Amino acid sequence: MATLYTKVKLYCEANSISNVDFRKDVLLQNDSNGQGTYIKEWNISSLAKPTDSQLASYETAANTEESNNNVRETRRIAYGNIGDQLDEIYKDIDAWKARIKKIKDDNPKG
């Protein structure tokens, strides 16, 4: 199940609002009472606060986004330091290409 954060982010992006600041534009809260995370404050005057059904419509896209973010992080770690990569390219670009291709093949995006 996708997080509320990701669904709100996608909702805003779909409505031409990018770079939502989750410290002032939208405040999410979880009171640890079993009810889960909710929108505590909605401070985007140019866009109506989404309904539960609107947010639910982003579930699939949000799951894909979160999965792809996990893949990106896994790849970033596997790629290693950019300086080491540049050294590897200088020494043997074909070996570098093969290593990067394997990382991508082992960690496909959705």
pLDDT for the residue 110: 79
DSSP string, 18-57: -S--TTTTEEEEE-SSSS-EEEEEE--TTSPPPPHHHHHT
Domain ranges of the chain: 4-106
Q: Residue range 18-32: average pLDDT?
A: 96
Question: Helix-strand-coil percent breakdown of the chain, rounded to 5?
Answer: 55, 10, 35
The pLDDT mean for the chain works out to 96
Residue 3, pLDDT > 90, answer yes
Q: What is the pTM assigned to this prediction?
A: 0.78
pLDDT in tens, 62-101: 999 999 999 999 999 999 999 999 999 999 999 999 999 9
